[in-house]
A and B are shown apart, each in its own frame.
Chain A
Amino acid sequence: MNCSSEDLKAYLLGELSTRDKAPVEDHVRACENCREELERLKLTQTALLALEEEEVPRRISFVSDRVFEPRWYETIWRSGPAMGFASAVILATAIMMHGFARPSAVSPVAPTVDTAQIEQRIEREVNARVDAVVAKSVSDAQVKQAAEFVKVLNATEKRFETQRQADLATVQQAAKYYEQKMSRWEVAFNDSRVGQ
């Protein structure tokens, strides 16, 4: 290979294929002039790359512009969720219309039987539940009533006992009183008999 400034520049700029690189590298190793030339080119490139990029003084951005925006039907057509929702609405409308338009198409026998069975089952279920609730309520009321009765009975017995104790004390006091009075009468009687 002869000295070629163009080949050196293409080599420097990464424009040579792997196959074309090898002869250039071999030549540069052997040729001092080309080695110096390549070195200067590398220094030039390094100097150029030392120039830092500047920040953009103001951010460039675009606001929504109706001229470039798609039409409403294009937006719906291209939007997955919107299309899904629209499909669901159409499907629901179709089902409703089908229901209104063909009421007699439904078989008259099977649904009646099913309905009666269902009604009976519901009635049994409701009755069972009502009975259970009533029974529980009655049971609760009875328990509450019994507790109330016991409470009143205890209070009454206590009151009677208190009254009985009071009466007993009164009787004992009266008996003591009469006993003292009888003793005095007896002393007075004996004294009068001794005096006669």
Chain B
Amino acid sequence: MIFREVEDRDLIAKARRGHVDAYNVLVSRWEKRVFNYLLRLVGHREDALDLSQDVFLKAYQNLKKLEDPAKFPGWLFRIAHNEAYSLLRKNRPESELAVDPKTGGESGGRMFPIELSLAVQGALSRLSDDQREAVLLKVYQGFKFEEMAEILSCPVSTVKSRLYTALDLLKQTLAPVKMGGAE
């Protein structure tokens, strides 16, 4: 992890000097995480891909503004957050229908991986955008509360509130399912 951070820092330094190849390496390291974050946030594959490209383009154009290369992940996800919310505000009705919510949270029999996956997608889709994003940044991307607050431009207390509420909602749907499946 330490080596990886150092390497990212080197790549950022080279990219700042105009080395496009170095930036492409950086993109290849982060594109999957950014794409999946955006996909789960906006719920539409093509939109997520377009947004990912916009995110990395904006990141490249503003790379010299990044004061501390060690903060690149949070800085990158902040750009992704801004891009995603621009789209969500524009396409609110469509994005609400983007994720198929047919899977319910009813507990019951054992779930296969695909069913579990659909159940999780359904549960995430029923959260508000803010709650879902808090879960994505914490559970899937592993950011700390302070980093999330910087990415989302809000106080840490707001981050905690969104995340804890989201966990309670998800628990109602997913925990019974898992407990029933485990029996």
Please, how many angstroms separate the alpha-carbon atoms of A37 and B3 in the complex? Answer: 38
A48 to chain B: closest residue by CB = B139
Interface of B is mostly: helix
Q: Of the candidates A43, A63, A64, A75, which one forms a contact with B178 in the assembled complex, judged by CB atoms under 8 Å apart?
A: A43
- Asked if residues B20 and A68 are in contact (CB atoms below 8 Å), the reply is yes
Known: A56-B49, A62-B23, A68-B60. A40 touches B175 (CB 8 A): yes
Interface of A is mostly: loop
Q: Of the candidates B32, B45, B57, B178, which one forms a contact with A46 in the assembled complex, judged by CB atoms under 8 Å apart?
A: B178
Does B93 sit at the interface, judged by CB under 8 A?
no
Does A54 sit at the interface, judged by CB under 8 A?
yes
Please, how many angstroms separate the alpha-carbon atoms of A58 and B27 in the complex? Answer: 12
- Asked if residues B167 and A41 are in contact (CB atoms below 8 Å), the reply is yes
Does A196 sit at the interface, judged by CB under 8 A?
no
B interface size (C-beta, 8 A): 47
Pick the interface stretch among B4-12, B68-76, B77-85, B114-122.
Answer: B114-122
- Asked if residues B170 and A69 are in contact (CB atoms below 8 Å), the reply is no
Q: Of the candidates A52, A69, A75, which one forms a contact with B117 in the assembled complex, judged by CB atoms under 8 Å apart?
A: A52
Does B18 sit at the interface, judged by CB under 8 A?
yes
Count contacts between A and B, CB distance < 8 Å.
105
- Asked if residues A60 and B53 are in contact (CB atoms below 8 Å), the reply is yes
Known: A13-B138, A48-B120, A51-B120. A43 touches B179 (CB 8 A): yes
Please, how many angstroms separate the alpha-carbon atoms of A64 and B39 in the complex? Answer: 28
Please, how many angstroms separate the alpha-carbon atoms of A68 and B168 in the complex? Answer: 47
Q: Contact mask A44-59 → B, CB, 8 Å, 1/0?
A: 1111111111111111
Known: A40-B175, A48-B135, A48-B139. A53 touches B24 (CB 8 A): no
Residues of A within 8 A of B (CB): 5-6, 9-10, 13, 15, 40-41, 43-65, 68-70, 74-75, 78
